[in-house]
Amino acid sequence: MRHTLPLAPQFYVTAPQPCPYLEGRMERKLFTALQGDAAERLNDALSKQGFRRSQNVLYRPSCAECSACLSARIRVADFMPTRSQARAARRNSYLQRRATAPWATEEQFALFRDYLDSRHATGGMADMDLFEFAAMVEETPVRTRLIEYHDPALRNRRGDEADPRDGLRAVCLTDILDDGLSMVYSFFDPARDKDSLGTHIILDHVVIAREMGLPYVYLGYWVPGSPKMGYKAKFDALEIFRGGRWQPLGNPADHDAATHPLSVDPIAEQVARISLPDLNRPQRG
């Protein structure tokens, strides 16, 4: 099934499959290829409209009878950590941040496997091997970085200065948009669950965005009623993309995971309302 806008790119919709967030529901996605000279502009523009990147694809949930998935972002200028989050930041303040090019390593993959086996053993990524992991990290046509978090106290066996490959505790694959940082995928050491490493990664991305003068940190989708996604609603100054615009989250309890066939517009109408970037504008350097 294909729907086309007057200008490239072309948009497609996936076949229904079981929803990974809400039991008993089916999901489908609206997606388009991310390629060519306009890839960054397209990623910037569609991220502002609730899309997410996965390798060379931009997608947005477009389920037939459900509109529970809501793209979420933090307003950096207004963000204030809770006491619990501030404690998590202090607890992990010893970690050293290291930003690298999107290049997969065996150390990252070992941590990724530990994370999946502990947290998402039955999820859609559970069977990913090293080559698929490398594709997830390296196949990107936009400005992407790997943000690694290391324990500097660990030394290599020669006793030299701390080896950046040792003590890897957390990793985030991050896109640099024109208005923020998009956290594409993050994972961390599951053996240090009490350290709240996932929270620390988000808090540190707020810090990075402030340092770069970027107004938002994009967290992906928040899904009311999904325990997997509930943590995102705990962050201050959170906005959600709903009804074609960004709005403050407000009280999370005011949102539900309603299923009604009239809660979702037809695919053709959704595509018609997508705003594309100026394809003639020069790519930023």
Please, what are the domains in the chain?
2-70+257-272 (no CATH), 74-238 (3.40.630.30)
Determine the pLDDT at residue 60: 94
Place of tokens 């009280």: 251
d(CA 273, CA 121): 38
H/E run at residue 117 = helix 106-119
H/E run at residue 150 = strand 144-150
Give which of 86, 67, 80 is closest to 27, Cα–Cα: 67
Q: With contact defined as beta carbons under 8 Å apart, do 237 and 203 qualify?
A: no
Taking each helix axis from N to C terminus, what angle separates 83-91 and 197-212, rounded to the nearest 10 degrees? 90
Following DSSP, what letter does each residue of 177-234 receive, concatenated? -SSEEEEEEEEE-GGGGGG-HHHHHHHHHHHHHHHHT--EEEEEEE-TT-TTTGGGGG
Cross-strand bridge partners of residue 52 = 59
Determine the pLDDT at residue 67: 84
Read off the pTM: 0.90
Exposed, middle or buried, 26 (CB in 10 Å: 0-12/13-18/19+)?
Answer: middle
Place of tokens 């037939």: 64
Per-residue pLDDT of the chain (285 residues; tens, 9 = 90+): 555 444 568 999 999 999 888 888 889 999 999 988 889 999 999 999 999 999 999 999 998 888 889 999 999 999 999 999 999 999 999 999 999 999 999 999 999 999 998 876 566 677 889 999 999 999 999 999 999 999 988 755 445 554 444 689 999 999 999 999 999 999 999 999 899 999 999 999 999 999 999 999 999 999 988 888 889 999 999 999 998 999 999 888 888 766 666 667 788 888 888 998 876 665 555
